[in-house]
Structure formats: structure tokens, C-alpha cells
Amino acid sequence: MRTEICIIGAGPAGLLLAKLLRQADIDCVVLERRTPDYVLSRIRAGVLERITIDLMHKTGCAERFSREALIHDGFEIAYAGKRLRVDLKGLTGNTVAIYGQTEVTRDLMDAHRTDGTPIEYEAEAVALADFDSSTPCVRYRKAGIDREITCDFIVGCDGAHGVSRAALPPQAVTNFERLYPFGWMGVLAETPPVSDEIVYANHARGFALCSMRSRTRSRYYVQCALTDTVDNWSDTRFWDELRRRLPAELADGLVTGPSIEKSIAALRSFVVEPMRFGSLFLAGDAAHIVPPTGAKGLNLAASDVHYLSTALIAHYRHRDDRGLDTYSDRALARVWKAVRFSWWLTNLLHRLDDDGFTARVQQAELEYLQSSRAARASVAENYAGLPL
């Protein structure tokens, strides 16, 4: 098989890129090792910045989003019995939208199904070859038959554990990583959210987060040990612990119910440089991971897709390779700003085991945010999304 772009991974980054390329009459094929049902079963974050929303509209995939998304003008931080609201709209003129990553993926899948985009699900033994040349190819197995795709470029959108990043020569890249000494115990429940906006809580017992997927479905998290397991957390234990970490007025209004999904996530920051090697480009989680505290993962993937789709379109339409040549530097400049903000917010809100120094610094920082409009504006600018 011959195509212009071979995209590895049918998550939101890969599907969004494929839609933009197809709109520009650029041929592409998407390979995904999982089934569509498995892809849709992955529960991920759902805070969308303007860049992600704009790309959904640009691809014509925002009809359901426009009906169902919850637009948030701000968010809250609870600490020391106080509640601090960061007014995103008032401070920056921007808002964020609550719309699950699974729903973004579903909308893109439906659009590609209508368009007839060639997406090979259950593609096994995917292997990238000759991407240090101008004639790369991708080999894989489907239904027991070995196949090969020759192409101009390969784009790895297959996540942190995919084959794309693993194919890079170790001596050609530099990895940067920060591991956090705690995890998030998360629960999804068919219950109304405890607040109309997202609430982050800094508490002596540990961090907590109150979020939502819709007006009837809530997503909650509490900080836990990395050694903890889901089996240690009954629904009753989780709800009791969450109440302890929330201000009284929120705890009293918390509606509980049976969990429909539980998981524990470790937190880390990871960046690989560069994001291009020859004819291979990385985008999204294949190139960078951020802790979910700042809600940047999907939005960074969208900004990568924006830069890369624009560059590929310029290459094919105008034989202009400036965008391809600068893709890695432009993407990484925005990635590192998001990594910094996610790292800062994570360290601000979580309980760290030290002599109390960190807790005092956190308290001082939160009091400063409470008293300074300029400080809140900086947080709001980063949270709502920095410009491209």
C-alpha cells in the first residue's frame, strides 16, 4: 500500500490529524493496534482549551460538542477552610469546556467512518523502518497477513508506550522525566457534580479534585500512595475520605453513589527531544506526558496537531518545508510552558512528606493568589491555554 502520511495511533491526536489532512486532500492511513471499543473504553480527562475546541469546529466534528459541552468561566481552589476562585473569563477573556476525551474520540471516529478514512484497527506487530530516509515504510500484520505501507512521512500518535518513540535511536534523543511520589485514586459515578465548576483542594490529608463529565456524571480524585491499590478503596472509604478533604459546605452537599469506574494513576512529567527524526514526527503522549493536575495532556496533543498539520499542508500545497523543519522547536516551546505550569500546580496542591516546609510555602503561595489579581491572572492565562 502507498500513502502520503502513515499515522500510528487512532486516539484523538491521530484521528484529529487525519481529519485535517483529509480535508486538505492529503492521503493518509491510520494504524491502531486496539479495537475501536477498546479505544473508547479509555477514561481520560475532559477539560478542553480553545485550541482543541477550534480544531473540532474546523474539522466539522463539533456538532455534539456544541450541544453537550459544559462551558466553565473559572475554577476553585479550596485550602485552609477558604475557597479561592480563579475567574478565567474575567481575567483572560477565555473559558474552558468540559467534554470528555472519550467523546472527542467518538466524534472523530464517527466523522472518519462517514468519510471512509482508511483506519486499520487491530494492526499487530507494527514496525517502523527507514524513517531516517526519504522513503520510510511501516510493516504490520492484520488478520494473520503481513502488510507494508510506504509513505512520505510517519507520524507517531500512539502514546507513551507505543512503537513510534521506542523506534527512535537512543543516542538521537534526550529524555527528561520527573516522577511524583504519589498517585491519584479516581472514581467515576453517575451523580451530579458537587459544584458547578472544578474544585481543587489542598488539605493536610492530601489533595482532592472534584470534576465532572456532565451534569449527571462526576469524576473525583484523592491523593494516595503509589503503593496503594484499587482493592483497598471501597466506595464508602473513598466518599468518606473525599468529604474530609473538602470544605464543609461542599462536603455537606456531596451526592454519593456506586462507582462505575475506579483507577489509580501515577503522576509524572516526561518530554522527549526532539519531536522529529528524519521522516518520523511525534505528537501528543508519544512525545510528552504531564500530570493531569493542569489538564494539559489532550490540549498539548491538539497544539502539536495544529503545528504539524499546518506544516504538512504547506509542504504538499506549496513545497514549503519551513513548518516541518521548525515543528519540533515550535511544539516543544509550548510543551515546556505547559510542563512548567502542570509541575507548579501539582507541587502547590499536593501533600509532600517533608518537615512542613512545603506546606508553609504552599500556604503562602495560596494566600498570595488570594490577594493578588496579577497572580490569579497568570494562573488563569496558563490554565485557559497559552497562545500558539
Task: Decide if 292 is catalytic.
Answer: yes
CB atoms within 10 A of CB 157: 31
> Which of 220, 307, 327, 383 is the catalytic position?
383
Task: Decide if 315 is catalytic.
Answer: no
Among 99, 96, 103, 95, smallest CA distance to 15 is for 103
> Which of 19, 72, 203, 288 is the catalytic position?
72
Task: Decide if 221 is catalytic.
Answer: no
Task: Decide if 142 is catalytic.
Answer: no
Contact yes or no for 6/126 (Cβ under 8 A): no
C-alpha cell at 5: 502520511
> Which of 79, 193, 292, 350 is the catalytic position?
292
Phi then psi dihedrals of residue 235, to 5 deg:
-60, -40
> Which of 296, 306, 315, 350 is the catalytic position?
296
d(CA 204, CA 351): 7
Task: Decide if 72 is catalytic.
Answer: yes
> Which of 140, 200, 307, 327 is the catalytic position?
200
Among 245, 234, 237, 178, smallest CA distance to 210 is for 245
Where do we find the cell 476553585? 76
Is beta strand 96-98 parallel, antiparallel or unpaired with respect to 47-48?
antiparallel
Q: How far is CA 306 from the centre of its chain?
A: 15
DSSP state of 191: S
- State the catalytic residues: 72, 200, 292, 296, 383
